[in-house]
Structure 1
Amino acid sequence: MKKITNKWVVSFGIVGALLLSACGNQSDATETSKNPDAETIVVGTGNVYQPFVYLDENNELQGYDVEILKAIDEKLDQYNFEYESMDFKNILTSLSAGKVRLAAHQYEYNDERAANYLYGEVGYTDYTLYIVHDGGQNATYQSLDDLVGKKVFASPGGNVAYLLEKYNKEHDDKIEIIYNEASSEVFVKGLQNGTADAAVLTKYDTNKYNEQFNADLQISGEPINVSKTYFLYEKGDEELKEAVDGALQELIDEGTLSKLSIDILGDDYTK
């Protein structure tokens, strides 16, 4: 197994024995792979999406997506992963510009992204989306049709925004999209005080917000989109994609991916 060269070396006590990773800080970035010919792959990630990709109080990169990539990197002796943490909106721009080779930020599939980027074929997190509202509302939302005329939170550039914008393009009656990049606490308060009538979230995020803020967010109706999350690459970067897909499938088959999800996310959200 090779050591990992990171700009921020991630340390998760709950998975340290599993990943066999070197620990340190930014000053340790001079460590090299056991394979002197390993190709450096710069991975673009976010910095505020806990617990998936974020910087902790010591400015060290942490997260479920990063731990998966570290485990993948351990299996790929021909590559050495380094990480660039940035605002979510800049990750795919950096991929387009060739500043990073791989984008990791819980990306779901959508046609617009697929036209511009190469998707991995092996998914690593369930990302089924549901309409969510505050329990104080006397409301039940079964589909996007029920959101017509309603104010709905969406992060600009995210898949929820894409789904809502696509709906509005295809229908005369519109959903009022409230683009939101606020903190999780402000997001939840916005649903509670009526700034927005609803949001679109995974079960994981809904449960997390309810526990974190003692909220009463309710999931209504059937899912509006069933998906998984994937790593993204530049068009034509098939060799890297296939190598990562192969290593990721090994993590799934050996049970490592499920264990990472349980340890970091609190349950198995890989299926």
Structure 2
Amino acid sequence: MKKTLAFVLSATMMMAALVGCGSSETAETKAETTAETAGTEAEGDKVWIVATDTVFKPFEYTNENNEFVGIDVDILAAIAEDQGFEYELQSLGWDAAVAAVQVGQADAIIAGATIKQERIDNGWIFSDGYYDATQTFVVPSSSDIASFEDLAGKNIAVKNGTAGADFANKLKDEYGFTVSVFEDSPTMYQDVLLGNSAACVEDKPIILSNIKENGLELKVPEGMESDVAPYGFAIMDTADQELLDMFNAGLANIKANGTYDEILAKYLGE
């Protein structure tokens, strides 16, 4: 495209020089029109880059057929189809996904990201909420931990930069426990299963799915969860507002036509 445009501009300039000043405006107009057309073509071919986590079942994960699937994956696909845009989903891991959007290597992130003020203050621009979740403490199946008071003197595992980590840090001084930070959910679960941490904090739908599907020897005590908080799709550059607007419009449409409920039922049985 650059070579073609350069040729057109060069030819235009030569023509202007040959025929004199009377036709230079026409030549310039043609050059501008060519550039605008090229820009329009590029815009029409836009492929949005969306970053996500690698393992956050049932929202994003690799299934037994080595396919990347999940609630977030299906919601994004349904919205893109509804709105008619193209995208590339990049499975990077939580920290890398956030960093990719921050530095402009990706246009947006969808990774079970809780909408919270701290993120908004740090430049996240969220969509409408697409799933309401709570964070909960999770303990080994054999544990007798049944309340926050039972956590005194113990260590709690959390996932870096998540609402679960915020929930634990908010309570740690009051209930006298320490916190260890992990990069991903499976490593965090393993730390609890090995006995290095007495509990971890995870989004409730995530841990219930993992316990059911993977047979993890973990359980969720009653009464040890946070208030409801929504997940959001997010951009970090106002230049990508078009994508955010399409996401919101598409989300409303797939909720109205039943596609959204079908996706949840597929993964959660709701």
Category of TM-score, reference length = shorter chain: 0.7 to 0.9
- In the TM superposition, 1:67-216 aligns within 5 A as 67-77=74-84, 79-141=85-147, 143=148, 147-167=151-171, 171=173, 174-181=176-183, 184=186, 187-188=188-189, 190-211=191-212, 212-213=214-215, 215-216=217-218
| SS of residue paired to 1:210 | helix
Match of 1:251 among 242, 254, 258: 254
Please report how far the alpha carbon of residue 124 of structure 1 lies from its aligned counterpart in structure 2 after TM superposition.
1.9
Give the residue type in structure 2 aligned to 1:209: N
Q: Which has the higher strand share?
A: 1
How far is the alpha carbon of 1:227 from its aligned partner? 1.0
Distance 2:185 2:134 in 1: 22
Please say if residues 122 and 249 of structure 1, whose CA atoms lie closer than 8 Å, have aligned partners that are also in contact: no
Pick one of 238, 243, 260 that aligns with 1:240. Answer: 243
Q: Secondary structure at the match of 1:246?
A: helix
- Alignment correspondent of 1:267: 269
The amino acid that maps onto 2:164 is V
Relative to the length of structure 1, the TM-score reads 0.72
Offset of residue 226 of structure 1: 1.3
Q: 1:228 to 1:255 in 2, by over 3 A?
A: same
The count of residues paired between Structure 1 and Structure 2 equals 227
Deviation of residue 148 (structure 1)? 4.5
Q: Which runs of 5+ in 2 are unaligned?
A: 1-41
**SS of residue in 1 equivalent to 2:48:** strand
Give the distance between the partners of 2:167 and 2:77, measured in 1 at CA: 31
Alignment check: 8 A CA contact 1:53 1:63 kept: yes
Q: Please say if residues 155 and 198 of structure 2, whose CA atoms lie closer than 8 Å, have aligned partners that are also in contact.
A: yes
RMSD: 2.8
Partners of 1:104 and 1:59 in 2: how far apart? 20
Which residue identity does 2:243 align to in structure 1? L
C-alpha distance in structure 1 between counterparts of 2:98 and 2:188, whole Å: 24
Equivalent in 22, 39, 64 of residue 46 of structure 2: 39
Task: Name the CA distance, whole Å, in 2 between partners of 1:104 and 1:39.
Answer: 19
Tell me how far apart the structure 1 counterparts of residues 81 and 123 of structure 2 sit (CA, whole Å). Answer: 25
Give the C-alpha shift of residue 161 in structure 1.
1.7
Matched, 1:50 2:37: no
For residues 75 and 182 of structure 1, the distance between their equivalents in structure 2, rounded to whole angstroms, comes to: 32
Higher-Rg member (1/2): 2
Higher-helix-fraction structure: 2
CA shift at 1:193, angstroms? 4.7
* Identical columns (%): 22
Instruction: Give the counterpart letter for 1:207 in structure 2.
Output: L
